[in-house]
Chain A
Amino acid sequence: MAATQETVEQVQKLEMDKYKYGFVTDIETEKAPKGLSEDTVRFISAKKNEPEWMLEWRLKAYRLWLTMPEPKWGKLDLPEIDYQDSYYFSSPKSMEDRPQSLDEVDPELLRTYEKLGIPIKEQEVLAGVAVDYVFDSVSVATTFRKQLLDVGVIFCPISEAIQDYPELVKKYMGSVVPQGDNKHACLNSAVFTDGSFVYIPKGVRCPMELSTYFRINELNTGQFERTLIVADESSYVSYLEGCTAPQRDENQLHAAVVELIVMDDAEIKYSTVQNWYPGDEDGKGGIFNFVTKRGICKGKNSKISWTQVETGSAITWKYPSCILQGDNSVGEFYSVAITNGRQQADTGTKMIHLGKNTTSRIISKGISAGKSQNTYRGLVRVAAKADGARNFTQCDSLLVGQTCGAHTVPYIESKNRSARLEHEATTSKISDDQLFYCRQRGISEEDAVGLVVNGFCREVLQELPMEFAVEAQQLVKISLEGSVG
Chain B
Amino acid sequence: MLEIKNLHAEVDGKSILKGIDLNINKGEVHAIMGPNGSGKSTLANVLAGRDDYDITEGSVSFDGKDISELEPEERAGEGIFLAFQYPVEIPGVTNTTFLKEALNAQRKYRGEEELGGMEFVKLIRSKTKELGIKDDMLKRAVNVGFSGGEKKRNDILQMAVLNPKLAVLDETDSGLDIDALKIVAEGVNKLRAENNAILVITHYQRLLNYIVPDKVHVLAHGKIQRTGGKELALELEEKGYAGYSGEAA
- Note whether A and B form a binding pair: yes
Which of the listed residues A432, A439, A452, A485 has the most CB atoms from chain B within 10 Å of its own CB? A439
Q: Which one of A440, A445, A452 lies within 8 Å of B90 (CB-CB)?
A: A452
Q: B91 on the interface (CB 8 Å rule)?
A: yes
- Give B182 Cβ to nearest chain A Cβ, in Å: 25
Fill in one digit per residue for B62-80: 1 if any A CB lies within 8 Å of its CB, else 0: 0000000001110111000
List 18 contacting pairs A-B, 8 Å CB cutoff, sorted by A: A433-B88, A436-B72, A438-B90, A440-B50, A440-B75, A441-B76, A441-B101, A441-B106, A441-B162, A442-B77, A443-B73, A443-B101, A443-B105, A444-B71, A445-B73, A452-B93, A456-B92, A485-B73
Contact A444-B73, Cβ < 8 Å, known A2-B51, A3-B52: yes
Q: A402 on the interface (CB 8 Å rule)?
A: no
Known: A438-B101, A439-B72, A452-B93. 13 other contacts (CB 8 A): A2-B51, A3-B50, A431-B88, A436-B48, A438-B102, A440-B82, A441-B105, A447-B105, A451-B98, A451-B101, A455-B91, A456-B92, A485-B71
Which of the listed residues A6, A437, A444, A459 has the most CB atoms from chain B within 10 Å of its own CB? A437
Contact B91 A439 (CB under 8 A): no
Contact A439 B141 (CB under 8 A): no
- Give B119 Cβ to nearest chain A Cβ, in Å: 17
Q: B84 on the interface (CB 8 Å rule)?
A: yes
Contact B71 A457 (CB under 8 A): no
Q: Which one of A431, A433, A440, A459 lies within 8 Å of B48 (CB-CB)?
A: A440
Taking CB atoms, residues of chain B closer than 8 Å to A459 are: 92
Taking CB atoms, residues of chain B closer than 8 Å to A427 are: none
Interface size of A in residues (CB-CB distance below 8 Å): 27
Q: How far apart sit A433 and B85, CA to CA, in the bound complex (Å)?
A: 12
Q: B87 on the interface (CB 8 Å rule)?
A: yes
Q: A385 on the interface (CB 8 Å rule)?
A: no
Q: How far apart sit A3 and B81, CA to CA, in the bound complex (Å)?
A: 19
Q: B202 on the interface (CB 8 Å rule)?
A: no
Taking CB atoms, residues of chain B closer than 8 Å to A2 are: 51-52
Q: A403 on the interface (CB 8 Å rule)?
A: no
Contact A447 B101 (CB under 8 A): yes
Contact B76 A442 (CB under 8 A): yes
Interface size of B in residues (CB-CB distance below 8 Å): 31
Taking CB atoms, residues of chain B closer than 8 Å to A452 are: 90, 93
Of residues 405 through 448 on chain A, the ones whose CB sits less than 8 Å from some CB of chain B are: 431-434, 436-445, 447
Q: How far apart sit A35 and B97, CA to CA, in the bound complex (Å)?
A: 51
Q: Which one of B72, B97, B141 lies within 8 Å of A440 (CB-CB)?
A: B72
Q: Which one of A431, A432, A442 lies within 8 Å of B73 (CB-CB)?
A: A442
Q: How far apart sit A437 and B84, CA to CA, in the bound complex (Å)?
A: 8
Taking CB atoms, residues of chain B closer than 8 Å to A454 are: 92-93
- Give B208 Cβ to nearest chain A Cβ, in Å: 24
Taking CB atoms, residues of chain A closer than 8 Å to B91 are: 455-456
Q: How far apart sit A445 and B74, CA to CA, in the bound complex (Å)?
A: 11
Contact A436-B93, Cβ < 8 Å, known A441-B98, A447-B101: no
Q: How far apart sit A3 and B71, CA to CA, in the bound complex (Å)?
A: 12
Q: How far apart sit A2 and B51, CA to CA, in the bound complex (Å)?
A: 7
Taking CB atoms, residues of chain A closer than 8 Å to B128 are: none
Of residues 74 through 130 on chain B, the ones whose CB sits less than 8 Å from some CB of chain A are: 75-77, 81-82, 84, 87-93, 97-98, 101-103, 105-106, 109
- Give B45 Cβ to nearest chain A Cβ, in Å: 8
Q: How far apart sit A302 and B57, CA to CA, in the bound complex (Å)?
A: 69
Contact B93 A439 (CB under 8 A): no
- Give A13 Cβ to nearest chain B Cβ, in Å: 18
Q: Which one of A436, A441, A455 lies within 8 Å of B92 (CB-CB)?
A: A455
